[in-house]
Amino acid sequence: MTRVFNFHVHVSQPELVRPETSTPREFKYLSNIDDQIGLRNHIPFVHFYPSSKDLCGRDPAALIKQALAKVLVYYYPVAGRLRSSEKGKLVVDCCDEGVLFREAKADITMSELRRINGGLKPPFPMLDQVLVDDIWGSYLITDAPLLRIQVTRLACGGFILAYTFNHCICDAYGAYQFITALSEFCLNLNLIGPSNLPCWGREILKPRTPPIISHPHPEYDISNHPTLAYTETDFKLLDQTSIFFSNADISLLKNQLNGHRNPTFDAVASCLWRARTRTLTKPNAITRLLFPIDTRFRCKPSLPRGYYGSAVVFPCAIAKANELMGKPLHYTASLISEVKKGVMGDEYRASVLDFIEMNGRRGFCMEEAFVVSDMCRLTFANIDFGWGPGVYGGPARAGTGLKPGMVTSIIGHKNEEGVEGVLALVSLPLESEDRFHMEVRKQIQSATSLNLISAL
């Protein structure tokens, strides 16, 4: 149950932070994965840090601002702007215009925040003013800052760090790499450089000559209809929620998958896909599940260590809604598993690059589509700026992307009772939220019953 606290946030005027020393002025190539229509959005993150007796009186905003100017020397394209180029392609203008930085002060403590929503996890009620959504240009892609950061001091001495990255400049892994580098400078302002030096390397992902589409790509919209444009209002019409799966819940779901290898994502994504389909989709519809797969460490040509661009492909599982609704969980998981097998080689990523090259910058297929992004291996909460690990660190909300409510993220999470598991961030119409939660609970209860029967 959400508790209501009345508190105020005093927000300063935003300013631009630039690299502290001169950096190259040049244009940088973006790969077809970077600048595809489906990634022309902003990805939001948030971290919550309690006060530290050892750092009493230390100003986190001043420290992070100072460290930011240092890390931008190494990540100087982040201080640039996206510009439109030929044939709808985007390029990065390394113009040194800077990233947007803002500091704020809130008259509420960390312990009070933890009581608002039964623990610090998305959604974060009443925190619009700390999630940088209201800063000018939050929905602009070109000719606007690529990174927006806000540090909000709390009455107890703790603080909140919130930021949004333009998705064309990095994916979640790249954001994690950048923020980790920022934290290293916070720990030592005299650092010679980050432990993982950034590498641009987008030219490695150029399409082939001639391009060859060697795989089907149902994840993309090949219709002649233009991609729908959604506004900030469309996103605000949806409600944010989250669902916690304990490790015990996950084990119960895994037991229903008939021995699939490495099934944690398969189990949770299958449960979410079925629940969403039962909640929002007509039985005779065709439904799609897209799930990003990071190709950094699995495809050749290999991407260099320190690569922070988007390296994800979006394989797509397709099913009739009534089959997802009526068949057991392992059927849904088998669809995901089969699609995974088809994209594990080097050729699939190359085919994606060539498909975009030949078909233009088409968006993802959005008709009855659902995206589940696995961020469990990105331990944002453990990033230390000098105050120790965070109480929470990770995505600030669900539903980012071109279509409101389309994208769900799952992250590793420990709840207020210390129980470990994963948290799914979901965005739905308000009237559908209770039904969705019920459909997830029904599947876990069913798995519990089946597990008990098999144990007899």
d(CA 332, CA 169): 33
Tokens (6 digits) for 283 = 């039985």
Tokens (6 digits) for 186 = 């916070």
Classified as helix, coil or strand, 210 is coil
d(CA 291, CA 268): 12
Tokens (6 digits) for 392 = 């929470």
| Residues that are catalytic | 167, 384
Tokens (6 digits) for 118 = 């039964």
Residues belonging to the chain: 456
CA 11 from centre of chain:
25
CA-CA-CA-CA dihedral for 408, 414, 420, 422, to nearest 10: 0
Q: In this structure, are residues 252 and 245 in contact, taking their beta carbons and an 8 Å threshold?
A: no
DSSP structure class, residue 364: B
CA-CA-CA-CA dihedral for 80, 96, 194, 396, to nearest 10: -40
CA 161 from centre of chain:
16
